[in-house]
Amino acid sequence: MKKALLGIGLLGSVGALVALQATRRGGGYYSSNNSTRVVVLGAGFGGLAAARTLARNRDGLDLDVLLVDRANFHLFTPILYQVATGGVEPDNVTHPVRYATQADGFRFQESNVQKISVEDKCVYTDDGPIYYDYLVVALGATNNFFGLASAEENSFTLKTISDGIELRNHIIDAFERAEVEQDPEVRRRLLTFVIVGAGPTGVELAASLRDLASHVLLKEYPGIDPGEVRVVLVEALDRILLALDDQLRQNAMKTLQSKGVEVLLNTPVADVEKGGVRIKDGSFIPSETVVWTAGVKANPLVADLPGEKGRDGRVRVNDFMQLPDHPEIYVIGDCAMYFMPGEQRPLPPNAPVAIAGGKTAAINIIHTLKNEPLEPLKYKYQGELVSLGKNNAVANIMGIKFSGFIGWLVWRAVYLYKLEGFKNKASVLVDWLFGVFDRRETSKLPVTPSKVPSESVAE
Amino acid sequence: MKKALLGIGLLGSVGALVALQATRRGGGYYSSNNSTRVVVLGAGFGGLAAARTLARNRDGLDLDVLLVDRANFHLFTPILYQVATGGVEPDNVTHPVRYATQADGFRFQESNVQKISVEDKCVYTDDGPIYYDYLVVALGATNNFFGLASAEENSFTLKTISDGIELRNHIIDAFERAEVEQDPEVRRRLLTFVIVGAGPTGVELAASLRDLASHVLLKEYPGIDPGEVRVVLVEALDRILLALDDQLRQNAMKTLQSKGVEVLLNTPVADVEKGGVRIKDGSFIPSETVVWTAGVKANPLVADLPGEKGRDGRVRVNDFMQLPDHPEIYVIGDCAMYFMPGEQRPLPPNAPVAIAGGKTAAINIIHTLKNEPLEPLKYKYQGELVSLGKNNAVANIMGIKFSGFIGWLVWRAVYLYKLEGFKNKASVLVDWLFGVFDRRETSKLPVTPSKVPSESVAE
């Protein structure tokens, strides 16, 4: 009954969203040859915020804003782990960039960036050169294997939509193969899922995968014994979710364990082999599915840029998000290393920081063109949100802490609000509604095994 | 306003569906070594109907029903063309077979069939042999290029979920490339979409593609002139939609033309080249996108079976859907050639015929085991349904004819009813709701270029 009420409530929200729909379509926007050319690289959270802010504030200026990405969609990464576990459909977390260009009046080009040339003031792409007067580099991050080649080769990752679909297919496939497999050791290896790294992505994936197994797959594969399925979360440090405070962390830990996720702390990985994970102490966890969520580093293209770089490849920017020696180049989001005044650690590579950086970069380009003084980055820490699977999450919003069912409602409300696109909001709501009834997407969609999403469709 | 009301109405239907949800989960079903083994090949409309009918009527019998398919999902092919044009999401037309096994109590195995051996009473698969006492062959159809190798090589087709996603990506990609292309001839070729064959699939795809271009893409690609986009429907015969009566056919023709689809009748294709279609009279239509919907033939695996075969590869069955010389083998759906008493033409390869055949085969296996007399095929022609895009369709249901907006409502109601899976019904309804607002899925999902869906995920 509680389930039914939840369902009706979620559905009612779809209705409310429909009623609220604003059709904000603008006409196409075209530039003259004399326009100031601003090129934004990357249609993630930061790049999209930069392009929009530029387009919306260009009044009086002859500004041509061009957003470039190798994919034709913005990916809503915070719930990508739900694509991997069948909780939401791939199409519901991808939002075509051109929807935004229509509404906001900037241009888009789907191209793969090969090289940024600071000297030529040019970005070289698969489709030819793109010259700029101002450049915003928002190319995001890639996985950090910390030099562990074996991990790069043998792990699944969770950064692109391909990654999500590929992992989902692989998980279903493991169950499919396990059910017909006679050798108990092979079955066990097929049904052991190891996630390396207990940051938010690792924890959210572990909880969701455990729920998928317990509430959905074990019913569909009656030949598999519940005791054969293991979800193991492996963490090098002595605790999970570093950014959370003790109380929320303890709540999260309790929830993970009550679900049956095995959390191994102080367990640094030495090697990811074909059939499992080797721990530094020499022990071995046999597994056909190792997911690496242990770290990120800046997009390697950032290496072309001059200036001081961090160990994770991020390039140091000034208070206005500019490269110190090239004020026409702004670097934001996961590509930028920025220290708030008085802070010892740079801002973390996450969506709110990227959005704040994108807005600051855009506003400062406008200021420059109007000969106005620049503004330093405006960023205020807003909190943390970590989903713990079915009906459970921990959240810290502006210092107010939530756990359990209320945390879960808060988590969903915030992400639904932040999700790009009205159709996506409604569709994710429907996906979540069915999740309440333990219905998930378990069809194996045919997907390229490539880990680079756009390569498969590019010419 | 009409749009908003339509939206609310469709949304209300989601609510009604939620309220009606029946959770019919059964437990797992396992067979003993002495069970009679019935193997059903193919989880399309016919195979699914056969497996369900067997499982639901096995009371008193020790029957092991195993359904085998190379994909782990049932594909709802009637709206696959909407996947190709962004009208519905791929996940919403794929229904995991194991959902059905749970509810209905049969077993499923995901395996690719290599060969059927009548002598060994065995089906050889990539995962080893599967022995049977009774076999139901429901392997469906593949594309018929009528020996035209160039067409097979250079055409898109529309039979698998890969086909649908691949075509969708390609259409979006053509617009993306056209907008940055300077050469007017190349632009024109990129923006000309040729569909060969004016049967239901060809007509539905042409109408939906024309709507996608006019109502969605031309708004998103302001650099493309509406006059540059062509959708051409090429048909060798002197009319479209052979199976319809004259009045509905004329209505359909008028609708297609008013939308701007160019219909070329009496236009047999000689060759499909890399950059376009060569007509028998020597003329050439330059196009980067040729879709072949001109015909089907039985799955080539049926060639292993003994007996009389038609030119389209279908094997002749008796009134009970058995192979005449092998009564333990039933062949149904697109693999079977069956003449209703007194008819000169075999039943067509479509879903209602496949479902009737599947039920008849299943019932006759039960009858055989109970030493009861067999029943001949029960099939009654129910009519035709052809969608003509936005707010338009022609339908003939039990002799009652519908056109235009009413036809469109009937079309949607019927297919929504027939769609497998409650989550799919609700999600397709949401997709359709947004279609009313001209919102379609235009993200290019990364998909394997292979035309065989399961190969990409199989081991």
B109-148 confidence digits (pLDDT tens): 999 999 999 999 999 999 999 999 999 999 999 999 999 9
Domain of B451, CATH number, reads 3.50.50.100
Domain of B52, CATH number, reads 3.50.50.60
| Three-state secondary structure readout of A342-362 | CCCCCCCCCHHHHHHHHHHHH
Chain A interface test: which of B14, B91, B219, B221 (most A C-beta within 10 Å): B91
> Does residue A169 sit in the same domain as residue A317?
no
> Does residue B341 sit in the same domain as residue B280?
no
| Three-state secondary structure readout of chain B | CHHHHHHHHHHHHHHHHHHHCCCCCCCCCCCCCCCEEEEEECCCHHHHHHHHHHHHCCCCCCEEEEEEECCCEEECHHHHHHHHCCCCCHHHCEEEHHHHHHHHCCEEEECCEEEEECCCCEEEECCEEEECCEEEECCCEEECCCCCHHHHHHCECCCCHHHHHHHHHHHHHHHHHHHHCCCHHHHHHHCEEEEECCCHHHHHHHHHHHHHHHHHHHHHCCCCCHHHCEEEEECCCCCCCCCCCHHHHHHHHHHHHHHCEEEECCCCEEEEECCEEEECCCCEEECCEEEECCCEEECHHHHHCCCCECCCCCEECCCCCEECCEEEEEECHHHEECCCCCCCCCCCCCHHHHHHHHHHHHHHHHHHHCCCCCCCCCCCCCEEEEECCCCCEEEEECCEEECHHHHHHHHHHHHHHHCCCHHHHHHHHHHHHHHHCCCCCCCCCCCCCCCCCHHHCCC
> Does residue B426 sit in the same domain as residue B397?
yes
pLDDT computed for residue A135 by the predictor:
98
Q: Which amino acid is at A27?
A: G
pLDDT computed for residue B12 by the predictor:
55
User: pLDDT, tens digit, for every residue of B259-280?
Assistant: 999 999 999 999 999 999 999 9
Residue B437 lies in a domain: yes
Which chain A residues contact residue B14 at CB under 8 A?
11, 14, 430
* A304: region left, alpha or beta (phi > 0 left; psi from -120 to 50 alpha): alpha
- Residue after which a domain boundary falls, among B369, B391, B422: B369
Q: Closest approach of chain B CAs to the CA of A373, in angstroms?
A: 35
Annotated catalytic sites of B, by residue? Answer: 204
Q: How confident is the model at residue B102 (pLDDT cuts 50, 70, 90)?
A: confident
What's the CA dihedral at A104, A109, A115, A116 to 10 degrees? -30
Residue A82 lies in a domain: no
Nearest Cα residue in chain B from A28: B222
Q: Closest approach of chain B CAs to the CA of A71, in angstroms?
A: 7
Range of the domain at B310: 31-70+111-143+297-369
User: pLDDT, tens digit, for every residue of A44-79?
Assistant: 999 999 999 999 999 889 999 999 999 999 999 999
Nearest Cα residue in chain B from A9: B15
Q: Is the pLDDT of residue A1 over 90?
A: no
Q: How confident is the model at residue A458 (pLDDT cuts 50, 70, 90)?
A: very low
Residue B220 lies in a domain: yes
User: What are phi and psi for residue B177, nearest 5 degrees?
Assistant: -70, -40
Instruction: Kindly state the helix (H) or strand (E) to which residue A187 belongs, with its residue range.
Output: helix A184-190
pLDDT computed for residue A402 by the predictor:
94
Q: How confident is the model at residue A103 (pLDDT cuts 50, 70, 90)?
A: confident
* C-alpha–C-alpha distance, residues B317 and B332, integer Å: 8
Partner A contacted by B87 (CB < 8 A): no
**pLDDT (average), residues A222-250:** 95
Choose among B11, B96, B173: nearest Cβ to A18: B11
> Does residue A47 sit in the same domain as residue A162?
no
Q: Which amino acid is at B32?
A: S
> Does residue B360 sit in the same domain as residue B439?
no
Q: How confident is the model at residue B15 (pLDDT cuts 50, 70, 90)?
A: low
Nearest Cα residue in chain B from A216: B99
Please answer whether residues B113 and B104 qualify as being in contact, where contact means their C-beta atoms are separated by less than 8 angstroms: no
> Does residue B272 sit in the same domain as residue B390?
yes
User: What are phi and psi for residue B285, nearest 5 degrees?
Assistant: -110, 110
Residue A201 lies in a domain: yes
Please answer whether residues B178 and B217 qualify as being in contact, where contact means their C-beta atoms are separated by less than 8 angstroms: no
Does A446 contact B162 at a Cβ distance shorter than 8 Å? yes
**pLDDT (average), residues B21-30:** 36
- Residue after which a domain boundary falls, among A369, A398, A425: A369
Q: Is the pLDDT of residue B22 over 70?
A: no
Does B96 contact A29 at a Cβ distance shorter than 8 Å? no
Q: How confident is the model at residue A101 (pLDDT cuts 50, 70, 90)?
A: confident
* C-alpha–C-alpha distance, residues A267 and A288, integer Å: 19
> Does residue B47 sit in the same domain as residue B174?
no
Does B447 contact A456 at a Cβ distance shorter than 8 Å? yes
Q: Is the pLDDT of residue B452 over 50?
A: no
* C-alpha–C-alpha distance, residues B289 and B212, integer Å: 15
Q: Is the pLDDT of residue B449 over 90?
A: no
> Does residue B163 sit in the same domain as residue B289?
yes
Q: How confident is the model at residue A437 (pLDDT cuts 50, 70, 90)?
A: confident
- Residue after which a domain boundary falls, among B369, B395, B426: B369
pLDDT computed for residue A11 by the predictor:
52
Tokens of A313: 């490849």
Q: How confident is the model at residue B21 (pLDDT cuts 50, 70, 90)?
A: very low
Residue B11 lies in a domain: no
Please answer whether residues A202 and A233 qualify as being in contact, where contact means their C-beta atoms are separated by less than 8 angstroms: yes
* C-alpha–C-alpha distance, residues A326 and A310, integer Å: 18
Does B222 contact A445 at a Cβ distance shorter than 8 Å? no
Q: Is the pLDDT of residue B16 over 60?
A: no
Does A219 contact B25 at a Cβ distance shorter than 8 Å? yes
Please answer whether residues B90 and B441 qualify as being in contact, where contact means their C-beta atoms are separated by less than 8 angstroms: no
Please answer whether residues B88 and B428 qualify as being in contact, where contact means their C-beta atoms are separated by less than 8 angstroms: yes
> Does residue A156 sit in the same domain as residue A226?
yes
Q: How many domains does chain A have?
A: 2
Choose among A72, A94, A162: nearest Cβ to B176: A72
Partner B contacted by A31 (CB < 8 A): no
* C-alpha–C-alpha distance, residues A85 and A106, integer Å: 35
Partner B contacted by A425 (CB < 8 A): no
Give me the interface pTM, i.e. the ipTM: 0.87
Which chain A residues contact residue B441 at CB under 8 A?
91
Choose among B28, B422, B437: nearest Cβ to A222: B28
Partner A contacted by B273 (CB < 8 A): no
Partner B contacted by A341 (CB < 8 A): no
Choose among B161, B430, B456: nearest Cβ to A426: B430
> Does residue A153 sit in the same domain as residue A266?
yes
Q: Could you tell me which residue, B12 or A433, shows the higher pLDDT?
A: A433
Length of chain A: 459
Q: Is the pLDDT of residue B225 over 80?
A: yes
pLDDT computed for residue A185 by the predictor:
96
* C-alpha–C-alpha distance, residues A306 and A327, integer Å: 12
Residue B329 lies in a domain: yes
> Does residue B138 sit in the same domain as residue B233?
no
Q: How confident is the model at residue B105 (pLDDT cuts 50, 70, 90)?
A: confident
Tokens of B415: 């297919």
> Does residue B51 sit in the same domain as residue B126?
yes
CA angle A241, A245, A251 (to 5 degrees): 70
Residue B199 lies in a domain: yes
CB pairs under 8 A between A and B: 177
Q: Closest approach of chain B CAs to the CA of A184, in angstroms?
A: 17
* C-alpha–C-alpha distance, residues A443 and B74, integer Å: 9
According to DSSP, the residues that pair with A284 across neighbouring strands are A278
Does A29 contact B222 at a Cβ distance shorter than 8 Å? yes
Does B176 contact A453 at a Cβ distance shorter than 8 Å? no
What's the distance, CA B20 to chain centroid? Answer: 27
User: pLDDT, tens digit, for every residue of B403-435?
Assistant: 999 999 999 999 999 999 989 999 999 999 999
pLDDT computed for residue A14 by the predictor:
53
List all residues 6 or more positions away from B12 whose beta carbon is below 8 Å from its beta carbon: none
CA angle B94, B97, B102 (to 5 degrees): 135
Please answer whether residues B415 and A45 qualify as being in contact, where contact means their C-beta atoms are separated by less than 8 angstroms: no
pLDDT computed for residue B445 by the predictor:
85
Q: Is A87 strand, coil or helix?
A: coil
Partner B contacted by A216 (CB < 8 A): no
User: pLDDT, tens digit, for every residue of A343-389?
Assistant: 999 999 999 999 999 999 999 999 999 999 999 999 999 899 999 99
Q: How confident is the model at residue A457 (pLDDT cuts 50, 70, 90)?
A: very low
